[in-house]
Structure 1
């Protein structure tokens, strides 16, 4: 991995959010690349339940100040950064008061999904890309973790298809067994189509549940990692019908070697 640039985009990350399969692997994979001489950037949303003072988040003025258009609305983009001290890893946080100030990640105190999770996912995908463009940092691999980040492959391949900075970037999506119950706003198709993305590319999102979100992600990725031992049958079958490199599930202690080999032999070949 020496010298390779890898962009990690995740919906959850320790130590900023509680431990679960997504947040742990979103930390472990960058740590591994970092230890092997790779260059990394990590992006995640700045949820309102992240303690900014304890984790020493601060706004990056030169990267903030853009407006992203979401469903014909101008939404200000704020970028904050923090460092994971013991690893010397910098994390970029995508922020917007309307979408991320509330005290929760994906659901309210009663466990109900936030009704604008679809718009938050669109904002996150666009915010990551626009910030990386400002950084003028061209990644060799873009590795996506977690369902709120799952629209990134679609936007990179369709909305940002002509961006030269991503012309040679390979997209890897990790698929986890853990998702969400229910569905996102049914208007998600119209909101994505507003950005000029053809509706035939997002037909699966007419039923915007976890499985269909991840189908859209893997369809627009170059390679796939099965990050959980149990993947929903519907998703597993969809992935098995794709002619793309797939890394089967490996135990946590095997991930360092397995991921490095997969990046080098399958993704970057």
Structure 2
């Protein structure tokens, strides 16, 4: 992976949020690329339960300040950054007072999904792309982890289809078993359509379950990694029906060689 550029976009990541399958792999996979001589950028949402003081987050004024339109509303984009010192890894955080100030990630204290999670996902996807454009950093691979990041492939392939910075980028989506119960806002499909994305390209979002969100993600990806031992049956069948490279599940203790080989021989070839 020497000198290859890999953009990692994650819903959650250690050490900023609690350890689970997504947050652990979202940390380990960029660490692996970094160790093998690749260049990396990492993006995640700046959820309100991330301790800014402990992790020394600070705003990047030159990257902040633009407004992103979500469902006809102008939402200010704030970019923060922090470093993981022992790994010499930097992480960019997408922030907005309205969407990410609350002291939780995806659900309230009763375990109910936040009603605006769909808009948060749209804002996050656009925020990542606009910030990478400002950095003028063209990735060879864009690797997506977690459902809050799962609109990124769609927006790159449809909304930003004419953006030259990403013309050669290959999108990889890791599919996990860790999703959510129920659905996001039923109006989600209309909010995505507002951005000029045709309804037939996002038909599964009429019922925005975890599986349907990930189906749209893999439909707009160049390769898929099955990142959990078990994933929902309908999602597995959908992935099996696609004619793109698929990396079967390997444990976090054995993933490095498998992912590196997958990147080099299946994704970049």
TM-score range, shorter chain: over 0.9
Distance in 2 separating the partners of 1:217 and 1:85: 32
Distance in 2 separating the partners of 1:118 and 1:251: 30
Which residue of the partner structure matches residue 167 of structure 1? 167
Which residue of the partner structure matches residue 122 of structure 2? 122
Which residue of the partner structure matches residue 41 of structure 2? 41
Which residue of the partner structure matches residue 52 of structure 1? 52
Distance in 2 separating the partners of 1:251 and 1:150: 22
CA drift at 1:12: 0.3
Which residue of the partner structure matches residue 219 of structure 1? 219
Distance in 2 separating the partners of 1:87 and 1:213: 32
Which residue of the partner structure matches residue 96 of structure 1? 96
Distance in 2 separating the partners of 1:129 and 1:108: 28
Q: Does 1:17 align with 2:17?
A: yes
Give a deviation string over 1:19-70, Cα, whole Å, max 9, x none: 0000000000000000000000000000000000000000000000000000
CA drift at 1:252: 1.4
Which residue of the partner structure matches residue 150 of structure 2? 150
Which residue of the partner structure matches residue 257 of structure 1? 257
Distance in 1 separating the partners of 2:210 and 2:173: 14
Please list every run of at least 4 consecutive aligned residues from structure 1 whose deviation after the TM superposition is greater than 6 angstroms: none
Unaligned runs of 5+ in 2: none
Which residue of the partner structure matches residue 2 of structure 1? 2
Distance in 2 separating the partners of 1:264 and 1:215: 24
Q: Does 1:107 align with 2:112?
A: no
- Residue correspondence of structure 1 range 129-140 to structure 2 within 5 A: 129-140=129-140
Distance in 2 separating the partners of 1:263 and 1:32: 12
Give a deviation string over 1:54-105, Cα, whole Å, max 9, x none: 0000000000000000000000000000001100100000000000000100
Matched residue of 1:253: which SS?
A: coil
Matched residue of 2:254: which SS?
A: helix
Q: Over the residues paired in the alignment, what is the CA RMSD in angstroms?
A: 0.3
Unaligned runs of 5+ in 1: none
The TM-score normalised by the length of structure 1 is 1.00
Give a deviation string over 1:99-124, Cα, whole Å, max 9, x none: 00001000001100000000000000
Distance in 2 separating the partners of 1:192 and 1:143: 21
The TM-score normalised by the length of structure 2 is 1.00
CA drift at 1:131: 0.1
Distance in 2 separating the partners of 1:78 and 1:129: 13
Distance in 1 separating the partners of 2:221 and 2:119: 21
Q: Does 1:202 align with 2:202?
A: yes
Distance in 1 separating the partners of 2:252 and 2:49: 27
How many positions carry a matched residue from both structures?
Answer: 269
